[in-house]
Amino acid sequence: MADICQSCAMPFKQDPAGGGTTADGLISTEYCSYCYAGGVFLAPDVTVKQMQQIAIDAMKRVGFPRPIGWLLTRNIPKLKRWKTTP
C-alpha cells in the first residue's frame, strides 16, 4: 500500500475511510476516499493544477499555512494518476 493517495497526495492515515473503493468494493491501496469510489475518480475532469489547489485549500481549512500547503503539493504531478505515458 502506498503511504499517500496517488491522486492528491493525502496521507492514507488521514483518510477517515482508509482509502477509496475499487469497482468490486475493496479498499483501494492507491487512492483515497476523497478521490476515488467504486473504481472511478470522483472528479474525472479535474486537472493536476486544480488538484494542487484543492489540496492546498483543504490543508488551509485545517490550519496549514498556504506556503506549507504549496510545499506539500508540489509533487502531485509526479503521482500515478497524473503520469502520462509517452
Q: What distance in Å separates the CA atoms of residue 78 and residue 22, rounded to the nearest whole number?
A: 22
pLDDT score for 85: 52
* 3-class secondary structure, 1: coil
Cα(15)–Cα(41) distance, integer angstroms: 16
The answer, yes or no, to whether residue 86 has pLDDT greater than 70, is no
pTM beyond cutoff 0.95? no
pLDDT in tens, 2-25: 799 999 999 999 999 999 999 999
For the stretch 17-58, pLDDT in tens is 999 999 999 999 999 999 999 999 999 999 999 999 999 999
